[in-house]
Amino acid sequence: MGEIAIRGGTVIDGTGAPGREADVRIRDGRIVEIGTGLGAPEELDASGSIVAPGFIDIHTHYDAQVFWDPALSPSCFHGVTTVVVGNCGFSIAPTRPEHRDTIARTLENVEDMNPATLAAGIPWDFETFPQYLDSVARRGTLLNFAAYVGHTALRLYHMGDDAYEREATEQEIAAMARSVGEAMDHGAAGIATSFAPTHLGMNGKPVPSRLAKLEEFEAMAHELGKRRRGVVEATIGAGFAFDEIYDFQRRVGVPVTYTALLAIPGFWQAGSERHRQELEKGTGVWPQISCRKITMQIQLADPFAFDMAPCFAELRAEAPEVREQRYRDPAWRKRAADELPKMPLPVVWEHLEIAESEAHADLIDRRLVDVANERGQEPFELMMELSLAENLQTRFRYIQSNYDEEGVEHLLQQEHMAMGLSDAGAHVGMLCDAPLPTDLLGNWVRERGVIPLEKAVHKLTGEPASIFGFVDRGILREGAHADVCVFDAEKVGPGPIRRVRDFPADADRLTADRPDGVRHVLVNGTLIRVDGESRSTDARPGHMAEIA
């Protein structure tokens, strides 16, 4: 590993401090000097650009994708140098051989992952969580990698199929807690769970973690408290939300981050006010916020966004031909039209557009309600009609949540709230929010001026590093790991989203591999992007992120 100097840029070091004109010299994967007039055998031009720490994405689902795509795309294109996987409790370890299909079917329903892709792409040379981390480390990654051990996986490992049916016994809880301790001692980032009503697993059943009492999860979380390290991540729901999570954090004594404080009218105001009150008392709770509208491309062949309606959840266990029969049944359609507005995240028909269609190309990018009004139909009936005419393959663009821009602005300006919920690696056929960092820097900092650039960089770097205790990451200083993103603040942006077919088993996905303004990216001193282009290399410079 050679010596590199990044010259002529404005260093924003990730602490929130003002930027300063300086060069950065790197040797053997570490920053050795920050100053003026620095040189090295290899030099990178950063003139007119910001030199920042590499971005840290704390909410991804690359647990499986890491095996067939060690670059962890598209995050690698957007200045991200460290990812945290296993969110919402959906790790793929620990997993016994007899439960691999169950894990795959769970991920299919809750995270829109293709079972054929998972079967072809996961090597399954591991069973326990430490073995999983070892398997990833042996193959190597382009980016730094940290992982939660997941509550749903732990339940399946220790309870078998009963994990989907009942509460755990004291003996099972003790066994799960021992597994968490083993995972933490081998380098896990923490433990994650979900109590969210939106999370349905195989056959439309609640995911296993939702069947647990809070006491079960707390017994496992105390394994982190005993070690005084790690983070608890939770997707909130009944029994574990604003009324419980702050006291829970004080009992376990480690940081807790929850998903997500979304900008939905009425919700963000209540969540923000509760957090303000708790912050005055002192809290280690970090609500996760996002600057992106949660926009999904859905098909009625696999209507993930509608699964919270019981009539759609029931279809998860049905064959495709049965699903189409239901769609043609007037009684079922009447029931569906009644249930969709009553979901925890009700359908807002004004938020749907026709996104992709061969049979209805003239309607692409038009709002469903506008077309329905022209034809004298209800939006849901039109959606059914268009889909059935195209073998259920019509794709609809749906802004599901986080659409209140006043709320997004407010949340971005608050203290002690973490940037999260990119969901990178999940819902790949319908969603691509991996560009969260470039969206924040372009749309919300430069274009809207919602927060200063130095604060935005801090929220993407130093702040998440401090929450997790990542050693020598998230800040540009002498001695730190040389994770660096050089970007043009006047041009940076998320770029376009496009559909590609590059996953195992010939599966497609949405990606965003052409961001604007991201010039150079280094991971542990190794260049992975130069002058806006990915460097063609088989290097795997990523580390398993060390946690203090």
In angstroms, the CA 26 to CA 486 distance is 14
Helix, coil or strand: residue 35: strand
Are both 125 and 243 inside the same structural domain? yes
Q: What is the CATH classification number for the domain harbouring 494? A: 2.30.40.10
Q: Considering the domain boundaries, does residue 485 fall inside one?
A: no
For residues 544 and 136, give the distance between their C-alpha atoms in angstroms, rounded to a whole number: 9
Is 94 a domain residue?
A: yes
Distances (CA, A) of 174 to 5, 67, 185: 52, 31, 17
Contacts of 377 (CB under 8 A, 6+ apart): 385
Task: Write down the mean pLDDT value for the chain.
Answer: 95
Q: What percent of the chain has pLDDT over 90?
A: 90
Q: Please give the DSSP secondary-structure letter assigned to residue 207.
A: P
432 pLDDT higher than 70: yes
Q: Are residues 308 and 336 in the same domain?
A: yes
List all residues 6 or more positions away from 206 whose beta carbon is below 8 Å from its beta carbon: 164, 199, 200
Residue 416 has pLDDT above 70, yes or no: yes
Do 46 and 62 share a domain, yes or no?
no
pLDDT of 321 reads 86
- Domain end, chosen from 398, 426, 459, is at 398
Query: Could you tell me if residue 479 is inside a domain?
Result: no
Tokens of 436: 């969260």
Q: Picking from 259-273, 301-315, 380-394, which range would have the lowest pLDDT averaged per residue? A: 301-315
Domain membership of residue 478 (yes or no) is no
> Which of these three, 434, 469, 504, is where a domain ends?
469
Rounded Cα gap, residues 14 and 479, in angstroms? 15
- pLDDT recorded at residue 538: 81
Q: What long-range pairs does 335-341 form, CB within 8 A, spacing at least 24?
A: 335/311, 336/306, 336/309, 336/311, 336/312, 336/380, 337/378, 337/380, 337/381, 339/309, 339/310, 339/311, 339/312, 340/306, 340/309, 340/380
Per-residue pLDDT at 269: 97
Of 177-181, 310-314, 347-351, the range with the lowest mean pLDDT is 310-314
pLDDT band at 525 (very low <50, low <70, confident <90, very high): very high
pLDDT score of 110: 83
**Pair 82, 203 in one domain:** yes
Q: What residues make up the domain containing 334?
A: 297-398
Domain check: are 373 and 418 in the same one?
Answer: no
d(CA 53, CA 136): 24
Q: What is the pTM of this model?
A: 0.96
Whether residue 1 has pLDDT greater than 80? no
Q: Give the CATH number of the domain where residue 454 resides.
A: 3.20.20.140
User: Residue 3's pLDDT band (boundaries 50, 70, 90)?
Assistant: very high
Instruction: Please check whether residues 366 and 458 belong to one and the same domain.
Output: no
In a domain, 333, yes or no: yes
Burial 360-396 (b: 16+ CB within 10 A, else e): beebeeebbbebbeeeebebbebbbbbbeebebebbb
* pLDDT tens column, 471-509: 999 999 999 999 999 999 999 999 999 999 999 999 999
Strand blocks (E) in 320-427: 352-356, 395-401, 418-419
The DSSP letter of residue 490 is T
Domain count across the chain: 3
Same domain, 382 and 256: no
Cα–Cα distances in Å, from 125 out to 1, 133, 185?
A: 31, 11, 20
Pair 410, 377 in one domain: no
41 and 61 within one domain: no
32-89: pLDDT as tens digits = 999 999 999 999 999 999 999 999 999 999 999 999 999 999 999 999 999 999 999 9
- Do the domain assignments include residue 545? no
Query: Do 159 and 178 belong to one domain?
Result: yes
Is 23 a residue whose pLDDT tops 70?
yes
Q: Please check whether residues 61 and 189 belong to one and the same domain.
A: yes
Q: What is the pLDDT of residue 465?
A: 98
Assigned domain for 475 exists? no
| pLDDT tens column, 125-153 | 999 999 999 999 999 999 999 999 999 99
Q: What is the pLDDT of residue 419?
A: 98
Q: What letter would DSSP give residue 539? A: -
Is the residue at 541 inside a domain?
Answer: no
- Three-state SS for 157? helix
pLDDT at 526: 97
Domain boundary among 439, 469, 499: 469
Same domain, 393 and 512: no
Mean pLDDT of 309-335: 90
Q: What is the Cα gyration radius of the chain?
A: 23
- Report DSSP letters for 333-348, one per residue: HHHHHHHGGGSSS---
DSSP secondary structure string for all residues of 435-464: THHHHIIIIIIIIT--S-HHHHHHHHTHHH
Contact 177, 223 (CB under 8 A): yes
